[in-house]
Amino acid sequence: MCPGSFDPITFGHLDIIERASSLFDEVVVAVLVNKTKKSLFTVGERISMIREVTTKYPNVVVDSWSGLLVDYCKKNSIPIIVKGLRAVTDFDYELQMSQINLQLQGVETLFMSTAPAHSFLSSSLVKEVASYGGDVSSYVPSVLLERLQQRLDLQQNS
Ligand code: PNS
């Protein structure tokens, strides 16, 4: 299980998905719905974007879920959550989540260190840079760049 908000998916996410897909028979990439977070793209749009950029990994499936992550894992007999750790700043919260997920449903979390090239990357920063006209082509797959810019323009003009 590779969970996240993916609003939008970045090369940082893709790096983790690609590496997880080479380690496991099947990888579920799940868009988690966070009711408290305002998103730029709908869940359906995020799923489509992830599917488009993961077609080369035949063992990757994409889905969404609006409850507890571990309930999805239990329901679908998924024993392992794979998360990328960018820096020590990620560690405290990720550790807490992994501990509670283990206690709630016995689901393990494996942490992968992100590739150094992506250690500063987050969807929030990508949106901020792009909203000011900055070049994010090194951070987001090229097929998604136009959609990102269009959505940010729409948001700024509303
Ligand atoms: O991409 P993000 O926003 O950093 O991903 C965080 C996410 C969605 C993986 C995390 O918030 C999560 O697992 N949410 C689902 C709800 C849940 O299970 N919460 C309890 C985790 S302790």
Adjacency order of strands within the sheet including 27-32: 2-4, 27-32, 60-65
pLDDT tens-digit profile of 81-124? 999 999 888 999 999 999 999 999 999 999 999 999 999 999 99
Tell whether 64 is covered by a domain: yes
Q: Dig out the tokens for 91 from the structure.
A: 């560690």
CATH number at residue 98: 3.40.50.620
**Ligand 1 center from residue 48 Cα (angstroms):** 20
Tell whether 40 is covered by a domain: yes
**End-to-end CA distance of the chain, in Å?**
36
Tell whether 147 is covered by a domain: no
Q: What does the alpha-carbon distance between residue 140 and residue 38 come to, in Å, rounded to a whole number?
A: 20
Average pLDDT of span 134-151: 97
Amino acid letter, residue 29: V
Q: Is the per-residue pLDDT at 56 higher than 90?
A: yes
Looking at the annotation, which residues are catalytic? 13, 37, 86, 123
Ligand 1 atom closest to the CA of 71, numbered from 1:
18
Provide the pLDDT confidence category of residue 35 given band limits of 50, 70 and 90. confident
Q: At which residue do the structure tokens 């807490």 appear?
A: 96
Q: Is the per-residue pLDDT at 34 higher than 90?
A: no
Q: What does the alpha-carbon distance between residue 116 and residue 93 come to, in Å, rounded to a whole number?
A: 20
What is the percent of the chain where pLDDT is above 90? 94
Q: Give the residue ranges of DSSP H helices in 25-115.
A: 43-53, 69-75, 88-105
Ligand 1 atom closest to the CA of 3, numbered from 1:
9
Q: Which residues line ligand 1 (CB under 6 A)?
A: 3-5, 32, 68-69, 97, 100-101
Output the residue whose Cα is nearest ligand 1's atom 22. Answer: 97
Ligand 1 atom closest to the CA of 68, numbered from 1:
18
The structural domain count of the chain equals: 1
Q: What does the alpha-carbon distance between residue 157 and residue 152 come to, in Å, rounded to a whole number?
A: 9
Provide the pLDDT for residue 37: 86
Question: pLDDT: is 35 or 107 the higher one?
Answer: 107
Tell whether 98 is covered by a domain: yes
Q: Dig out the tokens for 153 from the structure.
A: 């323009």
Output the residue whose Cα is nearest ligand 1's atom 13. Answer: 69
**Ligand 1 center from residue 4 Cα (angstroms):** 6
What H or E segment, with its residue span, contains residue 63?
strand 60-65
- Mutate which of 80, 97, 98 for ligand 1 pocket (most atoms within 8 A of beta carbon): 97
Provide the pLDDT for residue 121: 96
Provide the pLDDT for residue 11: 98
The domain of 102 spans 2-119
Provide the pLDDT for residue 69: 98
Average pLDDT of span 10-28: 98
What's the mean per-residue pLDDT of the chain? 97
Average pLDDT of span 18-47: 96
